[in-house]
Structure formats: C-alpha cells, structure tokens
Structure 1
Amino acid sequence: MNYLNTFRIPYIGLKLGQHIFEFEINKLFFNEYEYSIVKDGDLKAIVTIEKQETLMLVNFDIEGFVKLSCDLCLNNFPSKCHIEEKLIVKFTDNEEVNEQSEEILVLTKKDYEFDIASLIYEYINLAIPFNNRCEDPGNTAACDREMIKKLETLSSDQNNDEKSKTDPRWEALNKIKKQ
C-alpha cells in the first residue's frame, strides 16, 4: 500500500459542519518524494474541514521539527516548524476547471476524496528558510565544531593573504580613507 494513500480525505460521506483530521508526518512521508529538500522530520498536521453546501473551508495547522542540513557545518540539525495555511475547496459540475489558485482548489462532482499529501508537502517545503543554520552555530549539540573551526582558520588565512597582496600604491589612499 502506498503510504500517501493515508493522506486522502473522503469528503462525500461527511456531514455539514466541522471535522478534524490528524496526520503524523515523518521520514516515511518524505521518502515518498524523491527530490525533497527535507529528508526527515517529526511533525503533526491537524486538518480542520468545515463542510458547507457548495464548498469546504480547510485549515492546516502543522507543527513539529524537520531535520535540515546546516549550510555552515553540513551537519543535520532539527529545525522547529509551525505552519498555518487555509484552503477553499469548491465543487463544480463543469469538467473544465479554470479558476484554481494557491488558495482555491476546485473539485468536480465526480470526485469523492481529495489528496492533501501534496499540499502538506508544499507547505512544509515553503516554510524552510533560505539559509539553513541552527539558532547558535557552533554551540549546539548538532553542530560539527571541527568543521566550524576549520572554516574559521581558512577564512582568517584568506583575509591575511588578501591584506598582504594589496598593492602598495593603494596604501596612501587607505590612509586618507581612515581619516
């Protein structure tokens, strides 16, 4: 059985009103997506559906930790994640669906369930920061201290080399600049 099948919500049998679904998101979930930025995590998604006559209001509340690779020391570290998203699901008789957007999902009357796995996957990946670093680089248990020390020595050696390579004709201008 495909693991992502557990993330399908059959809405045909739901009565009007509010319904709450809970999903556990872990390594098995991220393994289903081959090129995922996130490879592991421990998250809980609470999906609240308010079913009405012609539409459904879906609220996603995803909270937990994802394991990211640090951009500084390349070690894996847990990053706290809290995501709140809203989605409107409309029903239509028309087979041609042309009014979908990021906040609106349109389903035909023939559909009986909708898959939220791809939505949860997108929400998690969009919540990942552009620069992945822990809160206190070099001082947490997840940090690779040897790698950080090596980077510091390499960067200080490079700065010293750049200073020694400065053209002596610029020294007079540097003196003016410092005044």
Structure 2
Amino acid sequence: MKSLRKYTIPFSGLKLGKHRFDFDVDDSFFEAFEYSLVKKAKLACNVELDKQETMLILNFEIDGWIGLTCDRCLTDYEHPIHIREQQIAKFSAEEVDEDDEIITLGKNDHEIDITGLIYEYVTVAVPFIASCSGDGSADKCNKEMLDKLNALSGSDDDKNEATDPRWDALKNIK
C-alpha cells in the first residue's frame, strides 16, 4: 500500500480557493486491490480541490482506458473511460458516522486519501457486459473465435434434441 501513498492530497497548507492535482493511474494502482475487476489501465486523474472554511469540494476528471476481456469473443481490448464525479469532505470536531456522499474530516486531519474514491469510480464505470465493439454488434469481434464458439454450441443443441420420453408425456397433458 506504500505505492498508493502518492494518491493523498495534503490540504492543511493550502490557501482557500481552487487547487489542481494530477495523478497517473496505471496497472500498479489496481494490483494493490486483490479482487479488482480492472487489471490493466492507463488513466489520467485530474482533481480540482476547492478549499473552503468548513469543507473541501473535490471534482474528479478521470480519462483514459482500462483493459477488459470481450464477453463475446474473449479478446482483450482497451475500453475508453470518461468519468466526472464530485465528492464533498466536511470538517467536523465531533466524530460522525461515515456517509457515502460526504466524507468527514477531523480537526487533526491534514490530508485526504483519494485512493478509494478513484478505485470506486473506475470500478463502477466498468460495463456490465464487456464488448470490444462499443455499439453491441459483433462486427469488431474476433470472427475465428466466434465461429469456434458457434460450432461448439451447435453440437450441444444436437444432444438436447433427444428429449426424455417422460417430458414428452407431460406435453400431451395440454
């Protein structure tokens, strides 16, 4: 986790107003998370920190690509990512339960760790069905692999055509 130390922003010495921080997110970032969906990535994370008297407003812009495997043809491809998110961190003297929308910082805190936020934003941006053709058509998929998969799935259909005679008797009940 020491390699992730660079994803902290020291805010205690900053003046009130907006400040910009740039981070590179690559494969080594996601290696720190044991069960990460993302294994390969090349992302540029730009964070605009707006420091105010009682809170910090963090605006995230994450652009680049993540490496995924196509669910249709099993080809590895680079999926483009464009993320725009905002996180609010509030200064509070008393201890408050963590909220998903607002991070609470104590009076002794002098930096904010954005590792978890970056990881969460990128993981949520992973598509439910990964396809190397973004429009959902199989035009860009590996034709050779699709032909092999279709041939294998066709042989299973032949086996399923011979049904159990008990089921045939049940169909006659209708």
1:148 is paired with a residue whose SS is helix
Show structure 2 runs of 5+ residues with no match: none
Spell out, residue by residue over 1:104-158, the C-alpha distance to the aligned partner (whole angstroms, 9 max, x if none): 1001011110100111001100111111111166543xx5443221111122333
2:6 is paired with a residue whose SS is helix
- Alignment partners' CA distance in 2, 1:97 and 1:11: 20
Residue number in structure 2 paired with 1:128: 126
- Alignment partners' CA distance in 1, 2:74 and 2:137: 11
Normalised to the residue count of structure 1, the TM-score between the two structures is 0.83
Residue number in structure 2 paired with 1:54: 54
Aligned-pair identity in percent equals 40
Residue number in structure 1 paired with 2:102: 104
Residue number in structure 2 paired with 1:176: none
1:42 is paired with a residue whose SS is strand
Equivalent positions of 1:67-82 (< 5 A) are 67-82=67-82
Instruction: Indicate conservation of the 8 Å contact 2:75/2:132, yes or no.
Output: no
Q: How many residues align?
A: 168
Residue number in structure 2 paired with 1:14: 14
Amino acid at match of 2:153: S
Residue number in structure 2 paired with 1:66: 66
- Alignment partners' CA distance in 2, 1:113 and 1:82: 26
| Residue 71 of structure 1, CA deviation | 1.8
2:29 is paired with a residue whose SS is helix
Residue number in structure 2 paired with 1:177: none
| Residue 159 of structure 1, CA deviation | 3.7
Amino acid at match of 1:106: T
